[in-house]
Each structure stands twice: as structure tokens, then as C-alpha cells.
Structure 1
Amino acid sequence: MNSLQRKWLICRTVAEVTYKEWSAYRTHSMVSIIVGPVYFMVQYFIWTAVYGDHASLGGISLPQMIRYFGATALIGYLVMDFADWNLSMLVRTGKFLTFHLRPIHHRSFALFQKIGHRSLGFLFEFSPCLLIFIFIFGVDMRPASFPWMLLSVLLTFLMIFYVNYMIGLTSFWLVQSAGIRSAFMLVSGIFSGALIPLDFFPHWLQVIQFFLPFQYMAYLPAMVFTGHYSLGGVELSIEQAVGIQAAALLVTFGLNELVRRLAMKQFTAVGA
């Protein structure tokens, strides 16, 4: 068995086990069937009131805004991640030692876990909410380009994982990374575009977003979904936007690998 086949077998096995494990708690995932549409409905009423008689705001029409928030909600179900919390727990309890001694390092294991977990999310969160958005709210949830949308979501999936894993790696220095995790979630919620499109931010702040990971977690894939991307006065084609997203992912992976190697030098199996 070659290396590629071996990794595929490990990936499939870990993903399947994670899927089955979380299936026992699928009612937890199904809560999102209520939470997601309620959040979307709140956004719908808020933005309908904000637009009033205006045809567009910030160059975005009301139907486009509704589709944008529908896209961010659905994409969020596909890319949700808990790698930072899980890694912090393993380091704090000393259980990371068991992974450190395995032939596959924990980062790959955590990624395979996420694949299994989000496969369950696709069935019990994404799919039902997609049907609700289409048939109850009457929102057009057809992406401008399905292939580019699929690629962008995949890149977002990996971007969020590597960023969160880096946050989890701070546990090797701090033991408890809950503070950093909470702060990052707050900042990310604001600057990722999940709460408000980045078009409404000051120009200088929009420009800075090109060099931060936040827009690649929600805003960019949502704009790829709508078929139009612009930020900081720069308009890009969907292909160019996804290209920038891929470049940002490569940089993030490089930083992740650097931090991971430094973290391994700090590993002391505290709590074991």
C-alpha cells in the first residue's frame, strides 16, 4: 500500500468513526434547523427595514443582501470547526501525548475528524435549512457558478481549520487558550462579514482585510456565491477572487506549519 492510499484509508476511517460518534448526538445538530432560519429571519426583517425605499445600499440590492446572508448561513454549516477547542483540551489534560506517539500527527487526524463531523452537518443542518430557505422564505439559493462555489467552500473549509488549529496551538505556551479563542471568535464575527457585509466598513479597513484571514472565512465565499466580488474599491472576477483565496490559504498553511513545529518544541505532556 503506497503512502497516498494509506492516508486515504486513515482519512476515511477517522471520518467514518467521527460521523458515527456524532450521529449519537444528531439532535444537537438538528437544533440548527431552528436556529439558522430564525437568525436568517431576523436578518431579513432588519435589512428590509434598513433599506426602506432605497433600491440599493453600498451597491447591494435588497434581494442580493438576502441571498448573501442565506449563503453565509449555509456555508457556515459546511465549514464550522472546533479544532482549537479540541486541541486545547488535549494539551490541557495531557491526552495529546497519545497522538504525539502515533504515526500520523494530530493536525491530520483533526482535519479528518472535521470531514466526518461536517458530513453529518451536511445532512442534518445544511440540507434542511437549504430547503427551508428555498421553499419557505422563497430565496434563490442557486450559486452564480457551482464549480467555483464548491472550490471556494473547500478553501474556506481548510482556511478556518488551519486558523483555528493555530489558535489551539497556543495552548502549548498558555495551557489554556480559551481567552484567545473567545477574542478571536468575537473579532472574526465582526470582520469576517458574517454579521454585516464588509462593503459597509471604512475603505481603509476594507483594504486591510486582504491581508487578514477574516474575509476568507465568510465574505469571500458568500460573494463567490452571488457572482460579484468587490472590496476596498477593487473589483475581481470570481476566478480572481478564488485565486486570492487559494493564495491566502497557502500563506495560512505555512504559518500553521511554522507554529506547529515551534509548539512541538514546547510539548511537555502537562497533565499526563
Structure 2
Amino acid sequence: MDTIIITGGAGFIGSHVVREFVKNNPEKTIVNLDALTYAGNLENLTDIENEPNYVFEKADITKPEELRPIFEKHKPEAIVHLAAESHVDRSITDPNAFINTNVNGTANLLNLAREFWTLNPDHQHGNFPNEKRDFLFYHVSTDEVYGSLGNTGFFTEETSYDPKSPYSASKAASDHLVRAYGNTYGMPFIISNCSNNYGPNHFPEKLIPLCILNIIKGKPLPIYGDGKYTRDWLYVIDHAKAIHQIFNDAKTGETYNIGGFNEWKNIDLVKEL
């Protein structure tokens, strides 16, 4: 049975992606690789934990010695990489944690993926026709790498990078690493950059759930600056479906933006809540 490793699969977005892949790929083993840090919660996946094609492996992507045995055990045909430190405010107080996980952790995965890809017997013997890839490194990223959306328009795949925080800078660096490995070594890759997600299992420190909880508790609502920073909001289950479709149908070596066409200034969103 072919195997797909999904990193960060116990997190908010990752758990929905794992569920989407498990339910739609019964012939493949889906390995959920997660370190179970503060944002990882296996209770997000209790509905599929007994599925025959689902496996959980606890590992930290910043520790190659934890990753290698999992790669050797499962011999993946693809990596879907979501594991990341992802909170802008945390990146301001502890930027090194974001650099270590988002940059160094991605590099660790790329090095192992490249090694196992080149050792694949089909790859070595050229048994795959040109129209069929023999491996895939799918890197899931964020539109934060582009900076602020502004008052009008949308980000496109040609938008220049303009990260504004240690978080977005670390994700931009990881995007560039993935492209560099693909361009240098020929390893098949895809990158997708999504807008802000919302929906079931959203971590409570994020804007929408935090505002809702503060409203319930009668606490002040968190508005930074003048509140005019514009974000596009994407329902997390729609995002998971888009990732699955891109994984199956998209051309390798390309970047794909995923958005909800649902732009809100922070101040207007908080007023709506």
C-alpha cells in the first residue's frame, strides 16, 4: 500500500487535511506525523482514529533522528507538509522557535525526502513515464508571505514576497527552500499559499475564536493598531478539499494560491462578531 506522510496532522488545518485524505484514499496509508505541541490535539481526529488506512507517528520535525525511523518504516511516496509554528504574536516574542521549526524543520524534511526519493527503485530505473510523478513534496504555506492585502485586489501567484513578521519571514524562507530543492535536485514539489482559515477546531488564541470567547466572557476585544489590516478568510474544510485536489491534479513545480474571496478589515470583522 502506498503511503503519504502528512506533517502537523493534529493541528487545526492539518487535522482536516488528514481526514480528507483518509476518507478519499482508502487504498493508501495516511501517516499523521505530529509533535503534539500546544496546538496539536489528537481529539480533532477521534472520528477516523480507527480507520485501517490511518496511522499516527509522534515526531518533531526539528529532530532528524526522530524523522528518519518513520521514513524508513513507511517509505512514503509523498509528503504533505503542514507542521509549523503559525502565530504572529508568538513569533514576535520568540522568533527563534519559528526559525527552528519553519525553516530548519522544513530543511530536515527536504533532506530526508530527497534521500528517499532518490533511493526509490522506480526512480533509479526510470520506470515512471514522464506524465506520472514518482514522488511529491507538497508544502502548505500562507499568504502572510505577501504582506498586507491592502484595500483592493487579491494576491496572485506572481505577487512579490513582502513578509512583515518573524512568522511570515520564516514561512517565506521555507517556501524558497522548497523551490530551491526542486530546482536544484529535480525533486517534484508543489507549494500552496492559503489565506486565513476559520472553522471547527480553530485554536482559541486566533482572532475569530478569541473574539467569540472574549465576547462571551465580557472581555475587551483584541484589535491591533487601527484595525484596518485586511484579511481574506477561508473555511478550513474548503481549504482541506483544495489541498486534496491540488495534490491529485496540479502540475508539479508550481505555486497555487487558495483563498475564500471573503475579505474583511479586522475592525469590521470584530464588529460583525
TM-score when normalising by structure 1: 0.31
Structure number having the greater strand percentage: 2
TM-score when normalising by structure 2: 0.31
Structure number having the greater helix percentage: 1
Question: Higher relative contact order at CA 8 Å, sep ≥6: structure 1 or structure 2?
Answer: 1
Whichever of the two has the greater Rg, that structure is 1
